[in-house]
Structure 1
């Protein structure tokens, strides 16, 4: 779950509490919002360096060993690797919750679980492990890498073709809510995803017995982007969402699609999440090996120790769960060494690096209209132009450079979808790089001339029981605007769009008209298929400029992360909330150093063990912090065994075993209450 999704669910009280944290004051005063702060690596690093040692250690453990995965208190304790006492972990976690670096969610039975927002993981990785990098292959390997299969298309282009298909064909559903087999088969031919490379994914989705994986992925993207929505027995194309989507740059579209895929399929293991984040920072167009990714992680201590599996198994999991599916989507290119056959990958889409794309350039690309009625479309032609071109021409080939062809059938399709011969001619002349051959426009005009001479009109017939009823209906108040003409003495022609309002007039007059079952299978206004004309779709300024809104609760693929279904916890813990028994502790135990009787010392040590907290002990003029683990009675006296907690949090923590009278003074330490040296 990303910050944007969490912020959309965040109550105002929680936002206000987080904004009240003093560390945010300098940036909030400069006009930053919380979302801006959480997305700025420089600001986050500044705050990280100001954080207390408990917060830093807890956050480092989460990023290193848990990642962006729901976790509970037991998992958190394991990630601390013995560097913190239980109370220190609670205090550190509470500080992270108050800063909005970690969020709490409440399960149905009341248990709290916690989450590091997914889009902050990569930022924290860079802050905590600045030297992390992919180990590049040697020069010999680089010179002999050949692509296994040239990347000709990608999921973005496949999504575009799916939208064209939905506009031309109308996606009809069976009673079970799935596409009809014949229509699905035609649609599958347009989806460019390589299913062989998708086999390693573990996604689960609805209607798995009816839809192949690539169909489910494409439908899922369309539904989450709200480009199509269920409407009775069809999946209906949404014109406003379509125009907003096609207005986005190529990079923006790829990034949105990648974001959806990542949210649905991000691996649970922290080391794989580190590999994903490191991959996102890799240079575009440069070959890297999966081994180079894992070697980079291992050098920074980000691989599990002891090893949960062998190197070959880890490499296989990395490739099958993440790298191969990205290659299937057309984001990565897969290649092998000429000698040795080792697999390498490289980015073939600039997902994370700022760059001007053809769709962002000031001069959009143009197509070439050929004398044989073919139209050659380079990759820099905008999606909006391609959309209209798909209405008037048929696709011949989809590649980096695509080919379309004008025909009598394609011109008729355009006419049936509201285009005129004049509009088609203007469109071709406006976007043709070298103009339109002289004979093409007269041909289009000739094909279009017979259209409209005769027209089947989709209207309704209101049939009255007798002539008297027909005369009465015609005289009803409000009926005249809906009656187009009389047919004989008992029937009237009614426009299809007027069915519902005219029925309301009749019902108000006391009639109960029988309603027809229309062509779309519904009682109401029905239309034939319609290919949206984007020029006629009006977007408000805020709709055109706003971030594209995802609907993560729609779609076919089941999200692996259950945080979407849990309640966001709005209460933030105060330091005193961490210690329910605080009122029962004698105040003097928490104040200055004191010399206590041996029996009182034992009570304090046992209380520290019970609360999983610390003791501050002075012995021979030196101060020590100890997390006591047990008290052992021996021959009328007792010993304390514990772990010395150093300021530097070194993993080589020292175990200590001290006699009851071995130290001079002591006090109980409760992190967040009295833990300042």
Structure 2
């Protein structure tokens, strides 16, 4: 709810009290009074002056609420407990501070459900307060003494890894444990196909304890599941129609979808990451800051020493790693610390500006050793098809695929014909298809379907006399598809119940149950 909506339910007496606190006349009709209060609080300059009038403890409590309350606020009992823990060494009690903020118009209370009351900061006021507090904190951040050496960052690596994830789901399916995590061997196959380079910190792939998936995979899996890009088919998760449609979006549109999801489901649920993201959002272009200095500012909110000690790891994992994976920041290791800098992509994500996408490439190279070299900027529709007929061995700026009997078999199994595969490779290979590669593909295709299973049943007679009667019966004979031996006949599984009923009517007295054959 915004400020105007919350204030319109407040009594005139409350509005008069707020007006006096912020230096406005209280001798106005209620509607005029509300209008003036809204204008004062939503004016950035006036709001900054009002915040400056608060004492340090009031500012700290307001800062915590501004970054942590979200759209539904925070429950009284939880927040009162936190403030009272923090205020043990203060001259004023935590409840008095909250009362001051309420009668000053900064926070409101409302009944969320039943008799449970919540504190809330109006959404529009909350954004302005976050900007003010983030600016205050960023002004005292520490910077590296020398400009760090950049590590590689790529704003679309995450987009392409999600593409790889969806391709894998389409080809092989993704199976989960009973706890909801992806099976370990599948995790390894997926991580191996992802694009992050060798100089990426190993913390990218630490196991996320909440879902028991590596962090990168946990981020991708949560996004795909929440956006319904994958669906359940029998015991596996496969790429959905929504997933195939999402692939057709531009990479800049995909990146914005991912960033929005991260804000809603990651940042908004973690106050420390929310504060850090607000600080990073307003960093000047080309400005490097130390992560430890961001930690120091957020540590002011810590109630216990344990939380303060784990905060750096949490920021590294949930802020630095995720924003780097999105291309929003670049970073460099400086001893035991990390220096970060906002990229152009990051600035555009933070402020909702259009992100320039790259031009897709429309060709690759098929080599005599059956490898296919393809740029990571290969057009999505070409990459999708290539993933279905060749196995991805290494993903980087130049990805390496391998054509093999297994990969061609997989393509044929998914519905591609030999002509479609050869035509696709010829149309998009810069150097054509080497003759030995084309011969291999044709040889592999010739083997396809030469052996197959048939879904039939065996009708077995215990003696030759009965078998002869069955064979020569016009009514029973129409159910016999073939003969394996003088006493064994192939019959249709689909019509087995009809055949069983007919045998019973003709007094052959067949066994009512279907016998199974066990290997001796």
- TM-score bucket (shorter structure): 0.5 to 0.7
After TM superposition, give the deviation of residue 354 of structure 1 in Å.
3.1
Q: The residue matched to 2:392 in structure 1 has which SS?
A: strand
Match of 2:423 in 1: 426
CA distance in 1, matches of 2:178, 2:141: 54
Match of 1:333 in 2: 330
> 1:197 pairs with 179, 203, 219, which one?
203
Match of 1:673 in 2: none
Q: With structure 1 as the length reference, what TM-score do the two structures score?
A: 0.49
After TM superposition, give the deviation of residue 508 of structure 1 in Å.
13
After TM superposition, give the deviation of residue 382 of structure 1 in Å.
2.7
> 1:365 pairs with 361, 364, 377, which one?
361
Structure 1 pair 158/371, CA: closer, same or farther in 2 (3 Å)? closer
Structure 1 residue 72 corresponds to structure 2 residue 75: yes
Q: The residue matched to 1:146 in structure 2 has which SS?
A: coil
Structure 1 residue 106 corresponds to structure 2 residue 113: yes
Q: With structure 2 as the length reference, what TM-score do the two structures score?
A: 0.61
Of structures 1 and 2, the one with the larger relative CO (CA 8 A, separation 6+) is: 1
CA distance in 1, matches of 2:374, 2:183: 32
Match of 1:627 in 2: none
- Please say if residues 371 and 401 of structure 2, whose CA atoms lie closer than 8 Å, have aligned partners that are also in contact: yes
- Please say if residues 334 and 346 of structure 1, whose CA atoms lie closer than 8 Å, have aligned partners that are also in contact: yes
Match of 1:377 in 2: 374
Match of 2:288 in 1: 287
- Please say if residues 362 and 428 of structure 2, whose CA atoms lie closer than 8 Å, have aligned partners that are also in contact: yes
Structure 1 residue 227 corresponds to structure 2 residue 229: yes
Match of 1:51 in 2: 38
Q: Deviations over 1:440-489 (max 9, x none)?
A: 7844663455244x434454215568959x977999xxxxxxx9x82349
> 1:166 pairs with 144, 169, 174, which one?
169
- Please say if residues 461 and 493 of structure 1, whose CA atoms lie closer than 8 Å, have aligned partners that are also in contact: yes
Structure 1 pair 455/514, CA: closer, same or farther in 2 (3 Å)? farther
Match of 1:492 in 2: 491
Match of 1:83 in 2: 100
- Please say if residues 109 and 117 of structure 2, whose CA atoms lie closer than 8 Å, have aligned partners that are also in contact: no
CA RMSD across the alignment:
5.6
CA distance in 2, matches of 1:286, 1:343: 14
After TM superposition, give the deviation of residue 423 of structure 1 in Å.
1.5
- Please say if residues 332 and 339 of structure 2, whose CA atoms lie closer than 8 Å, have aligned partners that are also in contact: yes
Match of 2:242 in 1: 241
CA distance in 1, matches of 2:445, 2:269: 62
Structure 1 pair 371/464, CA: closer, same or farther in 2 (3 Å)? closer
Structure 1 residue 344 corresponds to structure 2 residue 350: no
After TM superposition, give the deviation of residue 391 of structure 1 in Å.
1.5
Structure 1 pair 186/405, CA: closer, same or farther in 2 (3 Å)? closer
Q: Deviations over 1:199-221 (max 9, x none)?
A: 999x6425x4xx55555555444
The residue correspondences of 1:171-190 to structure 2 (distance < 5 A) are 171-172=174-175, 182-190=185-193
After TM superposition, give the deviation of residue 387 of structure 1 in Å.
1.4
Structure 1 residue 461 corresponds to structure 2 residue 462: no
- Please say if residues 194 and 395 of structure 2, whose CA atoms lie closer than 8 Å, have aligned partners that are also in contact: no
- Please say if residues 152 and 400 of structure 1, whose CA atoms lie closer than 8 Å, have aligned partners that are also in contact: no
Match of 2:407 in 1: 410
After TM superposition, give the deviation of residue 246 of structure 1 in Å.
1.1
- Please say if residues 71 and 115 of structure 1, whose CA atoms lie closer than 8 Å, have aligned partners that are also in contact: yes
CA distance in 2, matches of 1:164, 1:288: 38
After TM superposition, give the deviation of residue 265 of structure 1 in Å.
4.1
Structure 1 pair 437/354, CA: closer, same or farther in 2 (3 Å)? farther
Q: The residue matched to 2:388 in structure 1 has which SS?
A: helix
CA distance in 2, matches of 1:516, 1:256: 56
Structure 1 pair 195/303, CA: closer, same or farther in 2 (3 Å)? closer
- Please say if residues 136 and 288 of structure 1, whose CA atoms lie closer than 8 Å, have aligned partners that are also in contact: no
After TM superposition, give the deviation of residue 235 of structure 1 in Å.
1.4
Match of 2:84 in 1: none
CA distance in 2, matches of 1:513, 1:419: 43
Match of 1:390 in 2: 387
Match of 1:145 in 2: 148
Q: The residue matched to 2:289 in structure 1 has which SS?
A: coil
CA distance in 2, matches of 1:366, 1:79: 66
Match of 2:253 in 1: 252
CA distance in 2, matches of 1:426, 1:303: 61
- Please say if residues 405 and 441 of structure 2, whose CA atoms lie closer than 8 Å, have aligned partners that are also in contact: no
Structure 1 residue 450 corresponds to structure 2 residue 446: yes
After TM superposition, give the deviation of residue 385 of structure 1 in Å.
1.8
Q: Deviations over 1:405-436 (max 9, x none)?
A: 4344433332232112322233234444x462
After TM superposition, give the deviation of residue 315 of structure 1 in Å.
7.3
CA distance in 1, matches of 2:489, 2:452: 20
Structure 1 pair 243/266, CA: closer, same or farther in 2 (3 Å)? same
Q: The residue matched to 1:164 in structure 2 has which SS?
A: helix
- Please say if residues 195 and 214 of structure 1, whose CA atoms lie closer than 8 Å, have aligned partners that are also in contact: no
- Please say if residues 291 and 315 of structure 1, whose CA atoms lie closer than 8 Å, have aligned partners that are also in contact: no
Q: Deviations over 1:543-598 (max 9, x none)?
A: xxxxxxxxxxxxxxxxxxxxxxxxxxxxxxxxxxxxxxxxxxxxxxxxxxxxxxxx
Structure 1 pair 505/216, CA: closer, same or farther in 2 (3 Å)? farther
Q: The residue matched to 1:404 in structure 2 has which SS?
A: strand
After TM superposition, give the deviation of residue 335 of structure 1 in Å.
0.5
Match of 2:27 in 1: none
- Please say if residues 205 and 216 of structure 1, whose CA atoms lie closer than 8 Å, have aligned partners that are also in contact: no
